[in-house]
Structure formats: C-alpha cells, structure tokens
Structure 1
Amino acid sequence: MRILVTIASRHGGTWGIGEVVAQTLRERGHDVTMTPPDDVTDLEGVDAVVLGSAVYVAHWMPAARDLADRLADELATRPVWLLSSGLATQPAASANSPHEIRALAERVGARGHRSFHGRLDRSVLSFAERATISAARAREGDHRDMAAVARWAGEIADALAPAHV
C-alpha cells in the first residue's frame, strides 16, 4: 500500500517521530513517502495518510492545519491517522491537546489520533517560545518514546494489511 506520512515540525522532534512511523510501515512492506505538509499538493497515488504536527500553545502548526483544510475531501476517501507531539511534562495536559483535533478527525474520518511526548531543547527556541515554555514549566530533554511510536505504526500496518481469504 502507498502511504503518505506528512509531518509539521518546527525543531525536528515531531519529524523524528514521523521517521519512526515511516520506517516501521516500510519494514511491514508498505511503500512510504515522507514529506512536510507544505510540499503536498494532492493525494494522487496515495492509499493512506498519517498526518501529524507538533503542538504549540494547544494548536497544530499552520502547515498541518492548512493541508487538512485544503485536502479534507481527498483525505476523507482514504484511511487517515493523526498524530500530535507536544510537551511531555507539562502539568496542564489540556494545553497539549490541540483544539482542532476533534473537528479535524471528524471531517476527514480519521481512524485514530495519538499524542506522543515531545522533545524540548531550549537552546533552539526563540525568545517567545522560551517564554511560553517557562510559563508551562516544561522539563528540558527528549521525552519521546520511540518504541511506543513504532508499536502504534505497527497497529496502522496491521489495519492496512489485506484481509486473508
């Protein structure tokens, strides 16, 4: 099956999650293309989609939201999974739950949405990002659980496997 993995990532942490998803799907026999949302113009030749984004201030990045809006009708005709990645250690978990996910998932008929812990490296953040992170009391470090990401991607691969007759 031809699968598009398209991930919006500002500092590379969420992109790394997408790479694990793509690699796991490839290992399970799928033809996988991974690209940023801004580079996706249509879904011609794509059988399934994994669309994901880093979460900033309780929202997906604009590039991922724009792709979902532009291609909602095409996405609705294919199996779609959504992923989000945000602060792993923030006390207020609701700030890591993108406001638009429920409506987006319904609009495209997503088969599921999974949130993963992220990575925080203050040295690559802008002043505004550092201020937001400080207010959120987030802990620096790589909190991504790549084994959990691979397990989730394996579940996607299982869901896309042809039924045995």
Structure 2
Amino acid sequence: MRVLVTVASRHGGTQEIGSRIEAELRSRGHEVDLAAPADVVSIDPYDAVILGSAVYTAHWLPDAREFAVRFAAELPTKRVWLFSSGLATAPAAAANSPAETQDLMEATHASSHRAFGGRLDRGELTLAERAIIAAARGKEGDHRDMAAVVGWAGQIADELAS
C-alpha cells in the first residue's frame, strides 16, 4: 500500500515520531512518503494517510488542521489515522487529546487517534512559548515512548496488509 505520513511539528519532536512511523511502515513493505502538511499538494496517489500534529495550548498546529480542511472531501475515501504529541502528563494528559480531535476524527473518517508524549527543550522555545510552558508547569525532557510509536505503526501496517 502507498501511505502518506504528514506531520505538523514546531521543534522537530513530533516530526521524529512521524519518521519512526514511516520507518516501521516501510520495514513492513509499504511504500511511504513523509511530508509536512503544507507541502502536500494531492493525496490522490495514496491508499492511506497518517496525519499527526504537535499539541500547543491544547490545540493541533494550524498546518495540520488546515490539511484536514483542504482534503476534507478526499480523506473519507482513504484509510486514515491521527496522532498527537504533546507535553501533558497525568493528571493533565487530556490536553494531548485536544477538543478538536473528535471533530477531526469525524471529518477525516479516521480509524483512530493516538496521543503520545512529547519532548521539551526550553532552549528551543521562544520567550512566549517558555511563558506558556512555565504556566502549564511543563516538564523538561523527552517524554516520547518510541516503542509505543513503533507498536502503533506496526498495528497500522498489519491493518493495511489485511
């Protein structure tokens, strides 16, 4: 199957998740392209789309939301999965599943949505982002579970093969 993995990432952490997904699908025999949502001009060549976004202030990044709008008519004809990556940890883990996720699930006819932890390096942040992270009490470090990412991608690969 031909799969598009498209990821909106501000500082590269969510992009790295997309790269792991791409690698796992490719290792399972699928033809995979990895692209930023703004760079995708057509989804016609693809059998499946995996759309992911970093989560900031409990929202997906605009490029990912705009991708879903731009391809709203075509996405329901594809197999679609969504994922989010953010810094929320218990008890605020719901912030990694923003309110718009349900709307995106319905609009894209996605099979599922998966939330993953994110990565925080304050040195990469703007002053405004550091203020938001301080107010949200974001914990510095890499909170991504790459084994879970690869496991999820493996489940998708199995579904695509069936």
Structure-2-length-normalised TM-score? 0.97
Report how far residue 93 of structure 1 moved.
2.4
Q: Corresponding residue for 1:158? A: 158
CA-CA distance at 1:42 after TM superposition: 1.5
Unaligned runs of 5+ residues in structure 2 are none
Secondary structure of 2:148's partner? helix
Point out where structure 1 has 5 or more consecutive residues left out of the alignment. Answer: none
- RMSD (Å), alpha carbons: 1.0
Give the C-alpha shift of residue 107 in structure 1: 1.2
Matches within 5 A, 1:37-76: 37-76=37-76
**Distance between the aligned counterparts of 2:108 and 2:88, measured in 1?**
27
State the AA in 2 paired with 1:81: W
* 1:1-165 equivalences in 2 (<5 Å): 1-89=1-89, 91-162=91-162
Q: Which amino acid is 1:33 matched to?
A: D
Q: CA deviation at 1:90?
A: 6.1
What CA distance in whole angstroms lies between the structure 1 residues aligned with 2:7 and 2:94? 21
Counterpart of 2:51, as a letter, is L
Aligned length: 162
- What amino acid sits opposite 1:24 in the alignment? E
Distance 1:102 1:20 in 2: 25
Under a length normalisation based on structure 1, what TM-score does the superposition of the two structures give?
A: 0.95
Letter in 2 for 1:82: L
TM-superposed deviation, 1:92? 2.2
Kept in 2: contact 1:3–1:50 (CA 8 A): yes
1:74 is displaced (CA, Å) by: 0.7
CA distance in 1, matches of 2:24, 2:92: 31
Seq. identity, %: 61
